[in-house]
Amino acid sequence: MDFQVMTLDQAYLTSEDFNQEVYTKTQYFSEELRRIIENLKIHWISSAATRHINNLIDEYNRNNIYFSELNKASKCLQNYFVTLQTCRARMSDNKKVGTKTKNKFDFDLIELVDTTDQYYFDDAMQQDYNDLEELYNQYTKFAETVDTNFEEIFSNWKEGRGRKEFLKFREDSTYTSKKLLNNLLEVKETLQEALINCQSLGHL
């Protein structure tokens, strides 16, 4: 048997929702993290700040590479089920066929900040940290949603060409997502320590 899907139309609907969720959320996370980084460049200037901001830039770049791959996978899943629906429509009276997606995740990498001898802190740095913490919390929930959606899709899609490859991607995706979240958490905690130090020294 070339493929086996318990409920093809449901598989399509799940993959369509999944693809839209991935595309919308990853675009938001990318743009929001970039905004936070650009604000930190203005509000926190020192040799130590350069190091910490560059760590955050590294995470931004790594996340966007992962987001790009995740978008490709979710797009392929949706279009795969549309292809199956098209084949079914040719061979049966069920003519229901979904729409293929053209969603594409675009991003630009951020260059690292050059070291500096300047020393400057702004009160707005606290808001930058708050924004980063909120983004981290949203990203954590998104990672859980991605895993749940993958589970729903593969519990419906029992076998077929490409299934093993997508399962492998799911395993890699879960590992990568956890690693990126851990890295982002470390950067967030480092920024929090820097804030505490600045406050204790009377800079904020």
What integer pLDDT is reported at residue 3 of this predicted model? 60
Percent helix, strand and coil across the chain, each rounded to 5? 75, 5, 20
- Determine, yes or no, domain membership for 87: yes
- Determine, yes or no, domain membership for 115: no
Number of domains in the chain: 1
CA distance 115 to 7: 57
Q: What percent of the chain has pLDDT over 90?
A: 53
- Determine, yes or no, domain membership for 175: yes
Domain extent at residue 132: 3-92+121-200
- Determine, yes or no, domain membership for 110: no
Lowest mean pLDDT among 1-5, 66-70, 173-177: 1-5
What are 150-188's pLDDT values in tens digits? Answer: 999 988 888 878 888 888 998 998 889 998 899 889 888
Q: At what angle do helices 125-156 and 8-43 cross, to 10 degrees?
A: 160
- Determine, yes or no, domain membership for 161: yes
The structure's pTM equals 0.89
Q: At what angle do helices 8-43 and 47-91 cross, to 10 degrees?
A: 160
What are 86-131's pLDDT values in tens digits? Answer: 999 998 888 889 999 998 899 999 999 999 999 888 888 889 999 9
Going from the C-alpha of 96 to that of each of 12, 18, 38, 84, the distances in angstroms are 11, 20, 47, 11
